[in-house]
Structure 1
Amino acid sequence: MDKSRTSSAPAQALLPTPSRQDEFDTRSHSSQDETYQQSPPETSSRDLKAAQDHRTEKLAQVAKKEEEEEETDSNLVTWGSPDSQENPRNWSKRHRWAVTVLVSSYTLLSPLASSMIAPALALISQEFGVRSSVEQSMMLSTFVLAFAFGPMVLAPLTEMFGRRIVLQTSNVMFIAFNLGCGASQSSAQLTVLRFFAGLGGSAPLAVGGGTIADLFEPEERGSAMGLYSLAPLLGPAIGPIVGGWIVQELKQWRWIFWISSMYGGLTALIGVLLLPETYPPEILKRKARKLRKETGNQELCTAYEKQDASAWYEKLRHNMVRPFVLLATQPIIQVLAIYMAILYGCMYILLTVFAETFGKMYKERPAIASLNYISLAIGFTLGGQIGGRVVDYSYRTLTARRPDKKGEPEFKLPLLMATSVVFPAGLLIYGWTAEYKTHWIGPNIGAALFATGAMGTFLVCQSYLVDVLPLYAASVLAAAVFVRSLGGFAFPLFAPSMYRALGQGWGNTVLALVSALIGIPSPYVLYKFGYYLRAKSRYAAGDRNAASIK
């Protein structure tokens, strides 16, 4: 047998066995994230350092035992080499970026569908006899409510069965229920079907961040996350433009769902042909199956296959609850998830009232009013493309200044210090220029600033969360998406009442103040104390010490 394919691989390629998973929380990324092998700063407390040293020693002992056991197991299938081309991080740059673009196209689909009906709400309400503004908002935002629950289930499944199968299956679910929306005969049917279409459409939100972690090293993730993060925000901005054109030219809201389903079908076809699996444990399992078939040796297996049925069930249960556990126990996730929920809620408020603002206050026709969403699209694009480069630059620069040249996830936070000011400023400009009915360019400038700040904020938050817990990136982002989507669902429900009571000026001032009170201090607090929070976390400690095992 070719020893390069089994346990003779260097220690860097060895994986911990599932039996030790509770003691040594790592997976096949462990040899790659060396950025997380960090020494405590000089200002750390003696007690904190002692506790971390004790944890480090314990995990190192467990890892050493694992390594000794695996070296004697001639049937263990690993990468075989740190430079193995089977490892997604060793794929060519062109290949990795092609996969990123494809996953981003999936991620664009559901946010696009979430907002396409915004210009058609009046037409739908007229056909179904809906008079309540809350019920109208429900038809729009129930899709976003599904984003809160879908990733909490789908993200752990991707960490068990791989990214590709979960993404493709969920996309089929989205297409089926979205077609059902187009055939709805009542507002209740439409609302329920929109929820289930949103569940299927939420898969890219669960898969995308994990895929980025599979493909890129920490110092490269900023630009990749910039492209991936652009889709969930650009989609809601493009959707109303398409929906407004359909409403005005076709006079038929049902085509909104049929056209978005066509896009979903095209994306699914391309994905079936071109989208590869990127999750390392799943790739290794497939490698083991192939070797068993080629060699006839049925004992060949990966570390993740060496478990009985009861252990598999326990792993499934553990993985399904992990996003909830992370959300309940990790302060970093809690802070950034709440921050993103406020921002996401503000974004969907703008998406809900944008058409009404320019239709009623500026007397524009639906297709013309929907063109104002271009300002949001421009802002999201600028924030994503410039922001990604700024994040990578700050990470490399601050890492180079360290004597040990080791990066910290907090090195990606400087951009957040700026964007946390930009998007509240954008809300203020949008609100007060609309209040006084200035030239239409005024609200659009405010909307563009808001979108630029929002995009930069989402980019940094997601990139930072992935770097804090790269081995559980899908579960971490699922936890953040859960809270974020609740904000996107709830905020539009009270928006009409708020604007009727306060007007555009003071209504948006309230939103700006709330976002500023939470958003502006957060990056400074995390930059100063993020290391200490990670040092106290057994999940983050597992990531760092996994990288330190040579």
Structure 2
Amino acid sequence: MISDKWYCVKEGYAGTAMPAPAVNQVAPPYKSPQQKYGLRSLSMDTPHVIQTRTKHLSWLLNTHPVIQAPTPNAGGDRASWTWVVPPSSDLESELAVEEERIQRYGGNDPADPPPKSPDRRASSTFTRDRQSRRFSTMTRASTSALVHPEEINWDGPDDPTNPQNWSDRRKWGITFVIVLMTVCATFASSAPSIATPFIVADFHTSREVGDLITSMFLLGYVLGPLFWGPGSELFGRRPIFIFTMSVYTILHLGLGLAKNMQTILVMRFLGGFFGVAPLVNAGGLIADIWNVEKRGTAVSLFALGVFVGPVSGPLVGAYIIEGGLVWRWVFWVMMIFSGTCTVMTIIFLPETYAPVILYKKVKALRKADPAESKHLFAAYEKQDWSIGGVLNRTLFRPFQMLFGELILFLVTIYLSVVYGVLYALFQAFPIIFRKRGLTIGQNGLVFISVGIGSALGTALNIYISRNYPKLIKTWRGFPPPEERLLGAMVGCCAFVIGIFWLGWSGQYTSVPWYVPAMSGIVLGFSVCIIFISFLAYLVETYLMYSASAFAANTIVRSLFAAAFPLFTVQFFTNLGINWAATLLGGIGLLLLPSPFLFYKYGARIRANSKFAPCLDLKIAKVIAQETEMQTVKIGSLAEGDADETGAAGQAEKVSV
């Protein structure tokens, strides 16, 4: 284990294990090497940046370093200092925390690299008293893991301002708000579907134009992620949520008062554009506040919200119409729902995006002590704020990731097809059950089966994740993201079964209505657990870039969902429910191996990613090296025992 060794860096090269030095070599609490040891300044040319299997280990060295006496190098022309990290039972977790913090907040975005210091040597060493004083200020006010001596970060791994360190009660409250906003946004996508015939009759338009009420909303889902996903990484989560939810609420006023179909279609498009923000940014917010151990449950609840909304929409809409209210009340109910979510967002949703929090922190320090803090900065304010830089991070990054990240591209195609097929099957429900004489309200009740299935899928995923803490321990805090795909392996099989069940039982009116209705349980279960698994997979893979990954995924997925309703009615009418479902089931069969292939080859693909930290692959290398070293040590001990036995035998012979 790493904690059993002393890790040192000599001349800037890491990984050398050496015996623990004598006790008198251990340094007192850190102030500066010059102050504590009377050392001359380190050479400006000495590559002494400390690197182990993490990118930077400055915090460990700054908090408890040990410096051995200078020893001549191989050439003997000058002395070199050796920095040693003392052994600690917590070293493993410290390394893991340091790795995650650097990956999440170090500014190492390949599309937005951190600024280079004008004095590279001065930024990497404490050779001047002035820099030592600055560092003392920073250790009181900022981080314990600095990439740059003047960059503000967290006050150690237990900093209470770090969202990862907030109480579970507060985190679950934030999670509830984002899940409720997700339900609100997806509820609006399907709620007007039951009222569409009445809207068409009022405005004297065709059924095809009426189908655009759903499609235009989903087209808004296509454009919105280009702004709200990367925008939350640019300005923070909270302002994006408040702005989009406020506008989203006001737009329902226009829908309720609309005098023509054109107004409804425009308002629906804008509603989708602003309403998609929770779907895009939920993954990033969850990654902001939850660690890897509990993140799976939070993602499961979010994915459940994605399906509860579309399922409950037709049910509520059906009973509004059947209750004798005009179709406009569907939009009034949506306005009340979204207004409630907006108020909850303003009151209960704090900023969770770390770069923005740290930016506010450095502004507070500058205000409190301008003289001492004028040189401090946050990585957020050092970004490229030119028009080109902003466009790169907002509009271009999702597409850059979509077409440059093979994992994201393949996952997006798979989820988009599944999503489109699901919306096509939703269009088949009214056709199937209208033939059986169900009323509008009873037709809406059928969608409850999909909701039940979604709840079962969420429960199964939570059950499957029960062993995840063991994986976290085995993988030292960073298990492979592919472990999140176990639920999808079950779901992809159930998805195909549900499609064939619905199609062939729904075709014949002699089959009781509850038989095809029960297929909704299988469909809801399968699609929900597939989405939970793959959304968690994207979060674990891309971490701080998950909002941009979700944006790209939502854009393509919404295109499929917007296109399918435009031809689904004719598709099921012309081919028949059975053969149309058979064709969709064939697509499901072709996609069935996808989770298994991702599970087997995902790590190999991620290894070439520019945006995926791939911490598990780094941990795997360290474990392999440790295993090899232990094997060599055991072999050496065995050889030593054999030599002792041989020597004893020789002694006996001499004695005889």
TM-score for both structures, normalised by structure 1: 0.84
Between 237-246 and 141-150, the greater mean CA deviation after superposition? 141-150
Radius of gyration: which is bigger?
2
1:208 counterpart = 2:276:
no
Q: Distance in 2 between matches of 1:177 and 1:272?
A: 18
Deviation per residue, 1:54-78 (Å, 9 max, x gap):
x9xxx9x99xx89954975645321
Q: Indicate whether 1:182 and 2:249 are aligned.
A: no
Structure 1 residues 70 and 137, CA gap change in structure 2 (3 angstroms): farther
Q: What's the counterpart of residue 300 of structure 1?
A: 376
> What pairs up with 1:110-509 in 2 under 5 angstroms?
110-132=185-207, 134-297=208-371, 298-306=374-382, 309-310=385-386, 314-358=389-433, 360-390=434-464, 392-393=465-466, 395-396=468-469, 407-437=479-509, 438-509=511-582
1:395–1:412 CA contact under 8 A, matched in 2 = no
How far apart are residue 480 of structure 1 and its match?
0.8
| Kept in 2: contact 1:212–1:221 (CA 8 A) | yes
Q: State the shift of 1:401 in Å.
A: 6.3
Q: Could you tell me whether the CA contact under 8 Å between 1:223 and 1:389 is conserved in 2?
A: no
Alpha-carbon offset, residue 13 of structure 1: 10
Could you give the per-residue CA deviations for residues 330-372 of structure 1, whole angstroms, max 9, x where no partner exists?
A: 12111111111111112222333323432x2121111122111
Q: In the alignment, is the contact (CA less than 8 A) between 1:410 and 1:526 conserved in 2?
A: yes
1:289 Cα shift?
A: 1.6
Q: Is the contact between residue 119 and residue 244 of structure 1 (CA under 8 Å) also seen in structure 2?
A: yes
| Aligned match of 2:169 | 94
Tell me the SS of whatever aligns to 1:407: coil
Q: Does 484-493 or 182-191 show the bigger shift?
A: 182-191
Structure 1 runs (4+) deviating above 6 angstroms are 34-37, 542-548
Amino acid at match of 1:142: M
Q: Which amino acid aligns with 1:535?
A: A
Cα distance in 2 for residues equivalent to 1:70 and 1:90: 30
Larger helix proportion, structure 1 or 2?
A: 1
State the shift of 1:307 in Å.
5.3
Distance 1:30 1:285, change over 3 A: farther
Say if 1:308 and 1:478 are closer, same or farther in 2 by CA, change over 3 A. Answer: closer
Contact 1:348 1:491 in 2 (8 A): yes
CA 1:123/1:303 → structure 2, altered by over 3 Å: closer, same or farther?
A: same
* Unmatched tracts of structure 1, length 5 or more: 15-28, 38-54
How far, CA to CA, are the matches of 1:35 and 1:524 in structure 2? 31
Question: What amino acid is the match of 2:296?
Answer: G
Q: Comparing both chains, which one has the higher relative contact order based on Cα–Cα distances under 8 Å and sequence gaps of 6 or more?
A: 1
Matched, 1:105 2:184: no
Q: Cα gap change, 1:35/1:352 in structure 2, threshold over 3 Å: closer, same or farther?
A: farther
Q: Which amino acid aligns with 1:208?
A: A
CA contact (8 A) 1:30 1:546 kept: no
Instruction: Give the conservation status (yes or no) of the 8 Å contact 2:184–2:338.
Output: yes
The answer to whether the 8 Å contact 1:156/1:322 transfers is: yes
SS of corresponding position for 2:194: helix
Q: Distance in 2 between matches of 1:120 and 1:94?
A: 40
**What is aligned with 1:22?**
none
Using the alignment, how far apart are the partners of 1:384 and 1:223 within structure 2? 9
Question: Aligned partners of 2:294 and 2:103: how far apart in 1?
Answer: 14
Kindly indicate whether the alpha-carbon contact (under 8 Å) linking 2:542 and 2:549 is maintained by their aligned counterparts in 1: yes
- TM-score w.r.t. structure 2 length? 0.71
Residues 498 and 308 of structure 1, relative CA distance in 2, 3 Å threshold? closer
In 2, Cα distance between equivalents of 1:178 and 1:198: 11
- Distance of 2:388 and 2:618 partners within structure 1: 25
Gaps of 5+ in 2: 1-29, 32-55, 62-95, 105-109, 136-149, 623-656
Paired with 1:253 and 1:12, the residues of 2 have a C-alpha distance of 62
Residues 52-63 of structure 1 aligned to structure 2 (within 5 Å):
none
Inter-CA distance 401–309: structure 2 relative to 1 (3 Å threshold): closer
Deviations 1:268-303 (A, max 9, x none): 111111111111111111111222222234443212
Please give the per-residue CA displacement for 1:296-322, whole angstroms capped at 9, x wherever unaligned. 344432122235754x75244234311
CA 1:540 to 1:307, structure 2 compared with 1: closer, same or farther past 3 Å? closer
- Write the letter of the residue equivalent to 2:432: T
Are the equivalent residues in 2 in contact too, given 1:388–1:459 (CA < 8 A)?
no
8 Å contact kept, 1:213–1:470? yes
Three-state SS of the structure 2 residue aligned to 1:31 is helix
1:415-440 Cα shifts (integer Å, max 9, x gaps): 21110011121111111111112112
1:533 maps to which of 581, 605, 615: 605
CA distance in 2, matches of 1:227, 1:484: 20
Do 2:427 and 2:569's aligned partners in 1 also have CA atoms closer than 8 Å? no
What is the rounded CA distance, in whole Å, between the counterparts of 2:581 and 2:432 in structure 1? 13
| Structure 2 contact 428–577 (Cα < 8 Å) conserved | no
Question: What's the counterpart of residue 44 of structure 2?
Answer: none
1:207 Cα offset (Å):
1.1
Percent identity, aligned pairs only?
A: 31
- Pair 303,461 (structure 1): closer, same or farther in 2 beyond 3 Å: same
Distance 1:308 1:482 in 2: 26
Letter in 1 for 2:229: A
Q: Name the CA distance, whole Å, in 2 between partners of 1:35 and 1:308.
A: 20
Q: What's the CA shift string for 1:102-129, capped at 9, x where partnerless?
A: 1111111111011111111111111112
Q: Which amino acid aligns with 2:263?
A: Q
| Aligned partner letter, 2:573 | R
DSSP-derived class of the 2:154 partner:
coil
Q: Which residue identity does 2:310 align to in structure 1?
A: P
2-structure distance, mates of 1:173, 1:460: 32
Letter of the 1:300 counterpart = L
Cα distance in structure 1, aligned partners of 2:606 and 2:458: 27
Alpha-carbon distance in structure 1 between the residues aligned to 2:323 and 2:368: 59
